[in-house]
Structure 1
Amino acid sequence: MRELVQKIKVKSVLNKQKYVDDWFLSGYSLNPYSNCSFNCVYCYTRGSKYGEHQVPGLAAKVNAPEVLVRQLKNRARKREYGFIAFGSATDPYLPVEKDLEITRELLMIILRFHFPVNLLTRSSLILRDLDILKKIGEKAILPKEFDGKMDTGVVLSFSFSTTDENLAKIFEPGAPSPQERLETMKKCKDAGFIVGAIFMPLLPFLSDSEEHLDKMIKNVNENGADFVMASGLTLFGDGPQDCKTRYYEVLEEHFPELMSKTKDVFGNSFAPSRKYQQELHQRFVKLCQKYQIRNKIY
């Protein structure tokens, strides 16, 4: 079934961050699409917290290439180079990208202006653009803070909340399967890229246990991951389209026995308790040490 997509025009597509992101190395973010057809239940961009100013439904920023030329030309002229987090809010390789090729055009512009990229995706469509990404990696100008730390301008990050196929079908109904993501990551690693797995978010009492995390880290380690990063779930809003509402509806349908425990972990906050987060971090770090895999990009 073909996706319905609005074509919109934007005034800006490159977002300058106040600070360089410690996790993703980025000083900029870039999203060629608004909203997402992967329909992940827990997505934080849905509803009143982050999505209230977005157009309804999936939208393609059709003038993004011409806008990015202007913005990157200005940044390059000032030599304000920095990693661009490409796809930080919406996957840049949604099925519509196969026809529209906006992401591919943007990558060619990034190559032209020599900016480095951390590209975040769940899709095997990224394999189409490895030719451009390889050139970006070779020609990108890295900020001084990365001297001696990195020798490439491209990092490819693959997102997972679980590597369990059944759980993924429930919470990520429109996304490529975890197995497809693992295989794609392995192909990118074999092609010579720095690749990593982003376990964001881990689902309380579903994919955050030591046993489940062990399997996840083992899976990505066997498929070439150079690094793994993880964080807990966040749940915003009380409206019908908010991720908190949708997440609890799906949890009630499939795992009603976990409703009370999950709500206790969150209390009145959008984030899990500090105790929960500390314990999750400790489990995660211990397993990264077990598999001798970095828990940061470098």
Structure 2
Amino acid sequence: MSIAFLDEALQRSLEPSAPSTVARLIALRAMRDAGLTPTVFVAPILPELTDSTEQIDELIGTLADAGAGNILPTPLYLMRGPKYLFFAWLRRQHPELLSTYADFYAHGSRTPRHYRDLVRARVNQALQRHGLPIPDDTTSDKFALLGRRSTVTEPTAPTLF
């Protein structure tokens, strides 16, 4: 499950057809009540929009209270097509952030290492404060690279078809 925003207006603006944050939190509580320990993808974390220490702490606290067992944070990852669409949205909704995002994504789809480290530190602090496990340092990076290279480490089993 992915829950990236507590700000409903931002969520509706960026994901107009997606289930609301409230609906996702209800689903998360239902999973917990059914005895599951869900992992929640806190993704995408948006530079200058959802990445402050306070925002991350509030989100992770809410997720912990709702029953998240693990959190996998991922800063915004922008491949070419989505990058164009996201920048069009940014130009309409937050033009003051265009130069920040242009700098961050000038050389690829990922935010710079220093930014990912900053976000990871903020997330880890919030996870610790709310009693959730801290993910392996490379987990978010591996998640961001899925689809770009194979993550299969064992040969597939032979099949008849």
TM over 0.5, shorter chain: yes
Report runs of 4+ in structure 1 exceeding 3 Å deviation: none
Which of 127, 131, 136 does residue 288 from structure 1 map onto? 127
Which of 40, 43, 51 does residue 200 from structure 1 map onto? 43
Aligned to 2:109: 270
- Give the 5 Å matches for 1:1-298: 158-237=1-80, 242-296=81-135
The CA distance in 2 between the partners of 1:259 and 1:219, in whole Å, is: 30
The CA distance in 2 between the partners of 1:233 and 1:278, in whole Å, is: 14
Which secondary structure does the structure 1 equivalent of 2:40 belong to?
A: strand
Q: Which has the higher contact order (CA 8 A, sep 6+)?
A: 2
Post-superposition CA distance 1:216-265 (Å, at most 9, x none): 1011111111111101111111xxxx100000000110111111111112
Matched letter for residue 173 of structure 1: P
Post-superposition CA distance 1:103-145 (Å, at most 9, x none): xxxxxxxxxxxxxxxxxxxxxxxxxxxxxxxxxxxxxxxxxxx
Post-superposition offset of 1:267:
2.2
Unaligned runs of 5+ in 1: 1-157
How many residues end up aligned between the 2 structures?
A: 136
Post-superposition CA distance 1:1-24 (Å, at most 9, x none): xxxxxxxxxxxxxxxxxxxxxxxx
CA RMSD of aligned residues (A): 1.4
Which secondary structure does the structure 2 equivalent of 1:160 belong to?
A: coil
Indicate the percent of aligned positions where both proteins have the same amino acid.
28
Bigger Rg over Cα:
1
Which secondary structure does the structure 1 equivalent of 2:43 belong to?
A: strand
Which secondary structure does the structure 2 equivalent of 1:199 belong to?
A: strand
Matched letter for residue 102 of structure 2: K
How has the CA–CA distance of structure 1 residues 274 and 296 changed in structure 2, closer, same or farther, with 3 Å as cutoff? Answer: closer
Post-superposition offset of 1:284:
0.8
Post-superposition CA distance 1:134-162 (Å, at most 9, x none): xxxxxxxxxxxxxxxxxxxxxxxx20221
Which secondary structure does the structure 2 equivalent of 1:229 belong to?
A: strand
Post-superposition offset of 1:163:
2.1
The CA distance in 1 between the partners of 2:117 and 2:4, in whole Å, is: 18
Post-superposition CA distance 1:178-200 (Å, at most 9, x none): 01100111011011111121112
Post-superposition offset of 1:208:
1.4
The CA distance in 2 between the partners of 1:262 and 1:211, in whole Å, is: 21
Unaligned runs of 5+ in 2: 137-161
Whichever structure has more helix as a proportion of its residues is 2
User: Do the aligned partners of 2:37 and 2:67 also contact (CA within 8 Å) in 1?
Assistant: no
